[in-house]
Structure 1
């Protein structure tokens, strides 16, 4: 059964996802359940190949659901029509890992940001769209004049801010952040995480924050779910889970995370390799 939270905005219920067909079909996500409340950030953490990005894609309607359901504001959106899925993009947006790969290098930033607004025919004038583009850029710490430039004119951190501006310009209620800071330098990571936190407080948005890094997830999330081989092995309050992890895999992830103290890092590396050998022999 899914974890209960007050008035969930998103409910993932006993979700299972397959890749392939027939004899080549492989189950990559098995019986996953979680809720995200209005204004809440849930961290979904696991190693590469654990299925966390696949869950994000299922929420966005990019991969089919084999079993279970994805409910948004009470509506089952796991098998909706293409038209309804397009309508849902106003409420559900995504920020990907590679900001340059998710932006068209041949289009001005303003044109890219304006696209979801121009699709809403008759709702906004050109002047209103231009104003919204400038407001979105300023909201993420860039000047409105950035609209006239191209993605290649910006640094990696600035491009990720543009990707965030594109996601928030339609004022969504939920954003799927799929490794949204993992390609950035540590100092830029902190800036982007602070920005996401500020935007959540200011605009009331919810996040599903997908990452392989427990330390990054801790900074933004109120609750954390730990994914291993397509199944959730532990979940709970972020601070409590990280201070007293119960699942061996969670402890393994925590031991693998780097820390600035060399002695502590050495101790954690020894614990990590001991746990890794134990897992291999199990």
Structure 2
């Protein structure tokens, strides 16, 4: 299993060396930072290549909440539990069933942990996870972290925010601009560990992925600081390591008020090789 939990790591190149293989494979790059305002990081991320095959991927980003650093505990638990369940049951279920079962089990265990420890009572966490298998990306999601897909030059938000404000937007009560700048935009309707039952977003059919596609999983600290156009421009940059450097620099320059974390997944084809590093692009202002 490959597990990473980062508090102030920048531009982690998480491509692993496996025997050369042909087909679509995944290269993962990650960043997680406390940010200029917060004093500790309640975000977490994790990923693994099942069966040591980079054509398969499980990845998750989580953003915790709760007093006494309980949010940090909840987000780390979510990453551990989701990854462990998916890896241990990899061959037993279809990806969408695997994600649903993993989310429900993680929810119950985080809920029980909070109820058994007064300092962690009420803790919870968002979780946005993807499984890539046989050239298809499947989504499991709860809360307001997000998953984006850049495909053929277009940016698609795969996840739906489980927030009061997004519910108002989908109901036609407010505009997208009002949603994005609403003072209550971070009020969650669902999260792991916070309510007796949950209804996570699980994709039943998934999205076919091809060479050149990119996926971005991120906590709300990223899209609070960057617009969708900013995110699209970043993902169109050639070198993935520099994408995350630019993301970090931009978020900090805009004085983002929250932790921010992102997993960047590059989809390539042909014979697996390690990416080179150049810095030719301009940081967005």
Structure whose alpha-carbon radius of gyration is higher: 1
User: TM-score normalised to the size of structure 2?
Assistant: 0.28
Instruction: Indicate the structure with greater helix content.
Output: 1
User: TM-score normalised to the size of structure 1?
Assistant: 0.28
